Amino acid sequence: MMTQEQRKEYMKNWRQSNKEETSKYKRNYKAKNTLKIKKYKENYRLKNRIKWCEGAIEKSDVKAEVIIRTKILPSLGYTDIYKPTERFCFDALCKKNNQIYAIEITTSPDKIFRKHKNEFMNYFKLPLLLFFVRPNLSEYWLISERGKLSNRTFNYKQGRKFQIF
């Protein structure tokens, strides 16, 4: 009987020795079954969105912003929480240790991050706190590392999960 460490080592070695064959098989499979893969992805996204929206509260997006600004951010040690005008590109700004942070809050399971926001953050050297709040306002996910923000599209699963108290 193999121990867990031995199994990990075996699988690591197997992947490395069969990497080329595996990637060739995947390419061929994707080329032959594009419609099947596309349909599977659509069904997965639909199921995930339905599960995400279970028990949604009316106007949860507005309530989520208020909860994050008034309860969550102060409990995490952020101060000087400022809600700019509606047309500003971020939902809020705040400070911690003399560093200003940009805040994005969404009740959607995914978020497309526009290019102009990234340029704004890079110009002013602003770190971003990205909050994904479940529409039933029971929990939220937080992405705070700038390295994870190299893509344009983000999903709540990329963040750390917390309960709303």
Bridge partners, 142 (sequence order) = 131, 160
**34-52 helix and 19-32 helix, angle to the nearest 10 degrees:** 90
Q: Considering the entire predicted model, what is its pTM? A: 0.76
* Domain assignments of the chain as residue spans, ordered by start: 4-52, 60-163
Q: What is the pLDDT of residues 19-68, one digit of tens each?
A: 999 999 999 999 999 999 999 999 998 998 899 988 888 999 999 999 99
Tell me if the domain spanning 60-163 has CATH number 3.40.50.620: no
Contact 47, 54 (CB under 8 A): no
CA distance linking residue 134 with residue 49, whole number of Å: 11
Q: What is the pLDDT of residues 91-131, one digit of tens each?
A: 999 999 999 999 999 999 988 888 888 888 889 999 999 99
What's CA 149's distance to the chain center, in Å? 9
What's CA 63's distance to the chain center, in Å? 20
How many CB atoms neighbour CB 127 within 10 A? 14
